[in-house]
Chains A and B, each alone.
Chain A
Amino acid sequence: MSLLDIRNLNVSFGSTAQPFHAVSGLDLTVNRGEIVGIVGESGSGKSVTMLAMMGLVDAPGRVTADALQFNGQDLLGMKAAQKRKIIGKDIAMIFQDALTSLNPAYTVGFQLMETLKLHTPLRGAALRRRALELLEQVEIPDAKSRLEAYPHQLSGGMSQRVMIAMAIACEPKLLIADEPTTALDVTVQAQIMELLVNLQKQNEMALILITHDLAVVAEVAQRMVVMYAGEVVESSATDALFATPRHPYTQALLASIPEHSKGARRLSTLAGVVPGQYDRPQGCLLSPRCPYVTDTCRSTKPALLPLMGTSVRCLTPLDSSGIPTHE
């Protein structure tokens, strides 16, 4: 049985009369100890998916799903108080902007020990010792004095390390890293990624790595899920995805890796941006931007269908030479 099993997750915002589907019909499974990459341009619904799974999407946002199972427990029917015993302990999350993700009014030690106090019986000297140990584990130099430091005294990389320490404090079974390196310098990015992967191995935890940059996850993730406008458009093993992208959007993401690594925000290989609430097209959501678009694409919504060990949401998936398979 997989560690995380999400089936048919839907998240919508706005009025019920004119809802905006930030996530629609999303399926995702993650196995124990596995690294799964979720990629897609910003606005694809990656963050909302994870927040919804953790129960952190507030009204008026609406979340529905056929199944939301974690570690054999049903998160859907669970009371909020019960869920809070899992969130932060067995499922932990770190975010893009570590500097603003730490509370400016409290020391690193306070915020770290707060998590430990909430989910473990540790108190007093043992609590402090564990906090120190965690800071050392995320390779923060001079950890002892960092316990008394305030967030504004830390660099971006250092804050992200603190966030990671907080996240792994209770040895979670699943860590969600939402664009953990996007806000950091390139050299620091590599260090943080290395740290995450090492911790994942040591703690045997599953890791969901969310990014808009394929290059970040290419070497570490076993499986990849590509999202576009709230939907999964392709899901497959990493090497298969890199060798033969089946979806035109995946192909465009791959082609843009060199620019992305240089910090480009937009996809040079695909004009336009992810459609928002008011400009979602009929038919295939990618149709306004897709280089292989046909008239059928503009009227017919493709389903996510299995194809040679992967799943693809395209009427004419690409073949191994990167060309659409017209019948």
Chain B
Amino acid sequence: MFSFILRRIAVVIPTFIGVTLLAFALIHMIPGDPILVMMGERQIDPEFYRAAMQRLGLDQPLYVQYGHYVLNVLQGNFGQSIVTQEPVLSEFLKLFPATVELSLCAMMFACAIGLPAGMLAATRRGTVIDHVTMGGALTGYSMPIFWWGLILIMLFSVHLGWTPVSGRIALEYDINPVTGFMLIDTLISGEEGAFKSALHHLVLPAVVLGTIPMAVIARMTRSAMLEVLREDYIRTARAKGLGRTRIVIVHALRNALMPVVTVIGLQVGTLLAGAVLTETIFSWPGIGKWLIDSISRRDYPVVQGGILLIATLVISVNLLVDILYGVINPRIRHAR
């Protein structure tokens, strides 16, 4: 098992190097002079200009710059925001829990609906239930996030008034960020109504963000289940006298889950891309909104560092999925 994990980690190292190259190149792809663009001014004191060049290391040859950059990154130094003067990493870490909370809830929603829907469609193959479920999944998959978000806001927030339109919690609450997860922090704070308020704020964005993964999971679960239900060992399970429910849950689902888990893992990239939009629609103070704001503020070190951090995140999650895959599937774990 240990060597299996080591081998998986070795595989992602080249990917990671590629990502650092890309993030590094970003600052050089800005059209025009990076300093001038960042300062957004034309008349700059030459002395100040030289100092800025030096501070950012832009007067060095490219390979030296890259070397410095990688060294910095390895030490956890992802640059500094030119707007707030704060280190990119600490800004990221401050906002990251909000995105994780939103994404986790979106994923939970996606799995809670997608897995049973896919199983139901597979076991009722060819029936009305199957067609309705898969039709719904296709609709969900093709839903543009921005439009879907606005529709839900109009219905639930504006028309029905059930949920708030933006933010993580009502302004009247001042919650101490212990874990960074609002749902947990509100519980810790013990403030009456705080948890409910946080939940109300979370529901719509989580549903919007989870819709596409839900559709993907439902479709994947269905096709994986159909495949597995044809296997010889399902016939064996039936010949043992096992009931239908046990066969589906214990014998089929476990095997069908392997491709589904992979798909769930691969959805993390989609999820983060979706988070950028969702956070913008719902003014959710996470890294997606942070990244968009930084772009409009031309805070390039933040954009550069943010992209690198997000890429690292996606790589790590994919790695985790790979390892998890080996845990459920003994054949992969034991492969030499």
Interface positions of A (Cβ within 8 A of B): 51, 54, 56, 81, 84-89, 92-93, 95, 97, 100-106, 114-115, 118-119, 150, 152-153, 163, 166
Contact = CB atoms under 8 A, between A and B. Distances in A.
A101 B330 contact: no
Interface of B: 231-233, 235-243, 251, 254-255, 328-331, 334
A105 to B, nearest CB: 5
Contacts of B232: 95, 97, 100-101
6 contacts: A84-B241, A85-B241, A86-B241, A87-B238, A100-B233, A105-B330
B236 A119 contact: no
Contact of A56 (B231, B235, B243, B334): B235
Contacts of B242: 84, 88, 114, 118
A115 B233 contact: no
Contact of B241 (A95, A119, A150): A119
A104 B330 contact: yes
Contacts of B329: 104-105
Given A150-B330, A152-B334, A153-B334, A103 B237 contact: yes
A163 B236 contact: yes
Given A56-B235, A101-B233, A104-B233, A152 B240 contact: no
A54 B233 contact: no
B241 A87 contact: yes
A105 B329 CA distance: 6
Given A103-B251, A150-B330, A152-B334, A89 B235 contact: no
Given A103-B255, A105-B254, A105-B328, A84 B235 contact: no
A87 B236 contact: no
Contacts of A103: 233, 236-237, 251, 254-255
Nearest to A90: B241
Max chain A Cβ within 10 angstroms of own Cβ: one of B231, B239, B242, B329? B239
Contacts of A102: 233, 236
Contacts of B241: 84-89, 115, 118-119
A96 to B, nearest CB: 9
A88 B334 contact: no
A197 B161 CA distance: 75
Contacts of B240: 87-88, 114-115, 118, 166
A89 B238 CA distance: 12
A150 B243 contact: no
Contacts of B235: 51, 56, 95, 101
Contacts of A100: 231-233
B258 to A, nearest CB: 8
Contacts of B231: 100
A86 B329 CA distance: 32
A87 B243 CA distance: 11
Given A87-B240, A95-B235, A97-B232, 8 more contacts: A56-B238, A87-B241, A101-B233, A102-B233, A103-B237, A152-B330, A153-B334, A166-B240
A101 B255 contact: no
Contacts of A93: 239
A233 B135 CA distance: 50
A54 B328 contact: no
B255 A104 contact: yes
Nearest to A51: B235
Contacts of A106: 254
